[in-house]
Structure 1
């Protein structure tokens, strides 16, 4: 089936992007089992590795909106190639980086891969919008991309340690494997993916993006420093306050600009703002709960709770969670067809809420924890693909990339906020623990309650979405088509 067929979301197009997301998942899972060995290789402390994650989150929050807007202006494939080239360069830099500063910079720059999924969904919807089944085709394709993402994460988590052992614990050789994968996927995009149709006459709102960068940088930096330095550092609250206040001049500028960096009027649409808030609320559990879940499973039962599992056993629970996300991503398009996309997203959000709230009474055995994680994983997998697809369907022409990317940005902010809050909660409620390094059961229950409550709030917000939002025009001829964004002559 030809990739270049006009207006078609072909099997070949989805197949090439499937490969891209496989590599994206590998990048997210490959390094996790190697962290202790990377710490030794760089001669740093375990706690110093937090800076790598923090730097990559900061970069992703800043660059994703900019690259998405450039994709709307110049073509999503072109910017996908640029971000892949930057990711490949950073991944090769990790191979030769031998000290903390250079490794930190390279690790941060590798974070350009986070824009891949929003650009891919925007590219798919650009081709699909020419047909009457564009929204459903995009949902189905986004589900397949999430399957690829989680499959890649499983392969990466399983393969990292094995490659390290097979290469005689050679760190540079082990780090070269993902670098080769990213390089190969660049050529897959170059030769296999068609270009989208950019909107002509657009301009880049440079001042708007500068103001947005300042606001996001100060806010997410404050959240990161709160997690690292603890609640006793008063200046982190000042930094977060400055970040929040920085959104005021940004908003005023955007409302005056003819072609804004972020169209705030678009975000006020009833089919858009619940999606963006849902992304932030679901990011609490998807991104923020990973570390608490691992430490809870590894806590010794002598503390009165915990499973006392080793890293190998914990990986099985995480693997079950990732597999359940794949199931959720595959079920979501089918459920949307049986009901409506809005109802399917509400059901998925309730699954996430049910999974985490079930931790409150059921957390004593491996079976209970695994079942909770599987329930939450089904809902999370459905929403990871559904949110950018829904944002694309609700966006005006010329704003697809920005709309899909904002779901990633709000998810990142939600995850950063949750990580900081969870770190504070677990430290402040650690007095009840028997061992000095463990948190308390009360702290973990608060974390699980916040995750479940956030997902429950997301489900309620989605009821405000119009009944037939994100549905195919063929399903209801009264569904309004998003207007084209006004641009300068």
Structure 2
């Protein structure tokens, strides 16, 4: 049965994990206002300083599934606490950096903390009564939306009015404070995952495959999609993934249980997650540019970095309002319906951008509508995942779903970036996307969201209700119906900032 400590205080646990979600989201957006200044600050080139973002992406992608499996094996609490350490250490390294290499190392360490997100969701399943599961995870989802929304304006305000190092000293203090709170408030819940050895070779193989894939996707436009390096990276990713898959299938206690992952409900949910992440991230690449480009272009709105962040913030705050409604819809109609509704709303948001992209208020409405859809769609994913995996693999399954979303955002950055680059003109020595380029990018977001709705319709039907008691890993049935919503939007800094942002 589902283990739960009698001394658990759900409200306190939720508040602490929500705070961790806000800090995790803030970490991901810290460097966005600095991207245009980093070459001068770190005495390097623009191409080299993009690794400040890429390092976080690559390390986070590799560590997330590892943290999930370790959480299942040894308990969520110790791995959550361990994930705080690199966040603090990485922030300190970045704050002290005076050249690009220490900054890249520090950002890589910060990327190791990304595992907090799926681990926190999995811990909620252990620490909150079943009847409160949906609303509890909805709160964490909203807190992460708030963190992502507030990160840009806060970081921009600090950069404009203070020393940039304050950003990282502040993040170190926040991460340390969250770590202390987790240590004092999170109860110890016995691990119920596999008791075998950790699959170190499986982690290494998955890491190599992910690094090759995500490096090729994120650097393809810069290094050339048909260059020997990029083609070699794609080939290495495929070859390594095949060898890794064979290895995992032969393991008694694999890093990722591919047989569970191949279940139709899990497989199709993860596939939809990739597509929805692509749709969600397109707005983060396009709308900030439209807000910041000068009015002399005829379609730019001439906003500062700080003003842009403030115009984008309400969209994330909207998730606080909408997430509980997503949880109720999942409880009443099942998370499959919630996911489909979210995809349709995202598509509608992109469609509405065609007549509204000429004003700040119009773009505000667009981002709010898209993020309402994101709140529904991302909110349904853990319910679908947890409803198809044994309790002993909750953290690993959530971590793998987080990884799929990271892959989706990377693909979105590559595709949208390629479209905008192809439809650009030179202005004041810089390539600036044309209005037609932005419109095509937004329509691509609409099309991908529609594809997500179609994919979600193929997911096997689920039973409504926020949760039912878990039969436990030793039960004859491994299926558990989970509920609630899932964290969103700490992915904005996972890929390179859009051209023009921070300039």
The bucket for the TM-score relative to the shorter chain is 0.7 to 0.9
Residue 111 of structure 1 is matched in structure 2 by 111
The match for 2:153 among 155, 158, 167 is 158
1:272 is displaced (CA, Å) by 1.2
Query: SS at the partner of 1:399?
Result: helix
1:105 is displaced (CA, Å) by 0.8
1:9-48 map, 5 Å: 10-36=10-36, 38-48=38-48
Residue 61 of structure 1 is matched in structure 2 by 61
The match for 1:414 among 381, 396, 408 is 408
Residue 170 of structure 2 is matched in structure 1 by 177
Query: SS at the partner of 1:437?
Result: strand
Q: Is the 8 A contact 2:68 2:118 kept in 1?
A: yes
Q: 1:341 to 1:432 in 2, by over 3 A?
A: same
Residue 305 of structure 2 is matched in structure 1 by 311
Q: 1:80 to 1:35 in 2, by over 3 A?
A: same
Residue 185 of structure 2 is matched in structure 1 by 192
What does the per-residue CA deviation read over 1:289-333, in whole Å, with 9 as the maximum and x for residues that have no partner?
Answer: 423321233334554533333323322321122122333323211
Residue 487 of structure 1 is matched in structure 2 by none
Query: Which consecutive unaligned segments of at least 5 residues does structure 2 have?
Result: 481-503
What does the per-residue CA deviation read over 1:67-120, in whole Å, with 9 as the maximum and x for residues that have no partner?
Answer: 110110001111111111121111111121111111111111111221111001
Residue 137 of structure 2 is matched in structure 1 by 142
State the alpha-carbon separation in 2 of the partners of residues 338 and 434 from structure 1: 55
Q: 1:261 to 1:139 in 2, by over 3 A?
A: same
1:52 is displaced (CA, Å) by 1.1
Using CA pairs under 8 Å that are at least 6 residues apart, name the structure with larger relative contact order, 1 or 2: 2
State the alpha-carbon separation in 2 of the partners of residues 290 and 67 from structure 1: 27
State the alpha-carbon separation in 2 of the partners of residues 400 and 79 from structure 1: 14
Residue 232 of structure 2 is matched in structure 1 by 238
State the alpha-carbon separation in 2 of the partners of residues 62 and 249 from structure 1: 17
Q: State yes or no: 1:271 paired with 2:270.
A: no
Residue 453 of structure 1 is matched in structure 2 by 447
State the alpha-carbon separation in 2 of the partners of residues 184 and 265 from structure 1: 39
Count of aligned pairs:
472
Structure 1 stretch 211-220 or stretch 252-261: which is displaced more?
252-261
1:24 is displaced (CA, Å) by 1.6
State the alpha-carbon separation in 1 of the partners of residues 421 and 157 from structure 2: 34
The match for 2:368 among 353, 370, 374 is 374
Query: SS at the partner of 2:174?
Result: helix
State the alpha-carbon separation in 2 of the partners of residues 332 and 7 from structure 1: 29
- RMSD over equivalenced CA pairs, Å: 2.9
Q: Is the 8 A contact 1:352 1:376 kept in 2?
A: yes
1:409 is displaced (CA, Å) by 0.4
1:314-463 map, 5 Å: 314-430=308-424, 437-463=431-457
Query: Which consecutive unaligned segments of at least 5 residues does structure 1 have?
Result: 485-489
Residue 478 of structure 2 is matched in structure 1 by 482
Q: 1:156 to 1:297 in 2, by over 3 A?
A: closer
Q: Is the 8 A contact 2:77 2:188 kept in 1?
A: yes
TM-score by length of 1: 0.88
What does the per-residue CA deviation read over 1:387-412, in whole Å, with 9 as the maximum and x for residues that have no partner?
Answer: 23432332212111111011110111
Residue 243 of structure 2 is matched in structure 1 by 249
Query: SS at the partner of 1:201?
Result: coil
Q: Is the 8 A contact 1:126 1:197 kept in 2?
A: no
State the alpha-carbon separation in 2 of the partners of residues 314 and 155 from structure 1: 11
Structure 1 stretch 83-92 or stretch 23-32: which is displaced more?
23-32
What does the per-residue CA deviation read over 1:27-48, in whole Å, with 9 as the maximum and x for residues that have no partner?
Answer: 2344433445554432334554
Q: Is the 8 A contact 2:286 2:442 kept in 1?
A: no
